[in-house]
Amino acid sequence: TIAYLNGEFLPLADAKIPVLDRGFIFGDGIYEVIPVYHGKLFQAQEHLQRLENSLEKINLVNPYARATWLELINTLIAHNQGGSQIIYVQVTRGVAKRQHHFPENTTPTVLMTSSPFTEPNKVTEGYHVITRPDIRWLNCDIKSIALLGNVLLRQEAIANQAKETILIRDGYLTEGAATNVFVVLQGIVFTPPKNNLILPGITRDVLVKVLHDANIPCQETAVSEAQLRTADEIWLTSTSLEVAPITRLDNQIVGTGKVGAVWSTAWDLLQRYKQ
């Protein structure tokens, strides 16, 4: 596959970054993951807006104007034969002598890669998840490449034969290790509000919109651990999972133990929106 590194398109295997890159040394950078369906970027403006927000929140000057980002990403898509792909974009504070404070006059490192994307199918069986305390920092709205908390939490899911770890902070649901979470209680869909405790997922926002447009009640309000544990349905959303049904939470059955009716509608609405 072809990658993009600092102004150049080249085979991924030839893309090299100096060991003193602050991304490698400090995790000092941000990233974005954008799906491509049939050669076309999905929610391009929303993803680029979130990229701009992440850069601003870490005081990193945006290396490109939005139109340039779009042009570069579309060129990368074409180099990788269109179709369905996942575009990964990473910007770090660049290469500098190792000292914590920001270097002066350092050029950011910009890396973009493409990987093949197999869109998920509509499943008939739900996934298992576990819950853990949210041990991460208080700036989870930044799409930081420093993901050690998320990595450790997701690994716990894998070690427990589960798909994802759902995180609880101070008695309230935040999100998954790499997903946002929705719950259905008595026909009403709830998802935690956007604040510093969660990543503002693009899939989340699309789902809130399509539910609203379909007159399905959906509230962006805090969800307590008790509500999570008594939910009729639980869903995960992300670029790669789209919207996935959960039927087991910490080895307890969720709702009827089958994929939910509201989830099924939500899945269909999301597929229609993607077209």
Minimal distance in Å, beta carbon 32 to ligand PDD? 8
Among 273, 241, 275, 234, residue whose Cα is nearest residue 257: 234
Minimal distance in Å, beta carbon 99 to ligand PDD? 28
**Residue at token pair 């894998």:** 158
Minimal distance in Å, beta carbon 200 to ligand PDD? 8
Among 162, 183, 202, 243, binds ligand PDD (CB under 6 A): 202
Task: Indicate the residue among 85 and 179 with the shorter CB distance to ligand PDD.
Answer: 179
203 lines the binding site for ligand PDD (CB under 6 A): yes
Q: What is the bridge-based pairing of β-strands 109-116 and 172-176?
A: unpaired
Q: Is 143 marked active-site? A: yes
> How many whole angstroms separate alpha carbon 178 and alpha carbon 204?
12
> 122-181: which residues touch ligand PDD (CB under 6 A)?
150, 175, 178-180
> 18-77: which residues touch ligand PDD (CB under 6 A)?
33
> Tokens standing for 91?
């910007």
Burial grade of 191 (CB within 10 A; 0-12, 13-18, 19 or more): buried
Task: Indicate the residue among 9 and 117 with the shorter CB distance to ligand PDD.
Answer: 117
Minimal distance in Å, beta carbon 105 to ligand PDD? 31
Minimal distance in Å, beta carbon 180 to ligand PDD? 5
Marked catalytic residue, from 57, 97, 122, 143 = 143
Among 204, 211, 233, 262, binds ligand PDD (CB under 6 A): 204
Neighbours of 234 (CB within 10 A): 27
Minimal distance in Å, beta carbon 97 to ligand PDD? 29
Among 85, 114, 238, 247, binds ligand PDD (CB under 6 A): 238
Site stretch for ligand PDD (CB under 6 A), options 124-132, 154-162, 219-227, 234-242: 234-242
Task: Indicate the residue among 46 and 250 with the shorter CB distance to ligand PDD.
Answer: 46
Site stretch for ligand PDD (CB under 6 A), options 189-197, 199-207, 208-216, 226-234: 199-207
Task: Indicate the residue among 96 and 208 with the shorter CB distance to ligand PDD.
Answer: 208
**Is the distance from CB of 177 to CB of 165 less than 8 angstroms?**
yes
- Using CB under 6 A, count the residues that bind ligand PDD: 15
| Contacts to ligand PDD by CB under 6 A | 33, 150, 175, 178-180, 199, 201-204, 237-240
The residues that are catalytic are 143
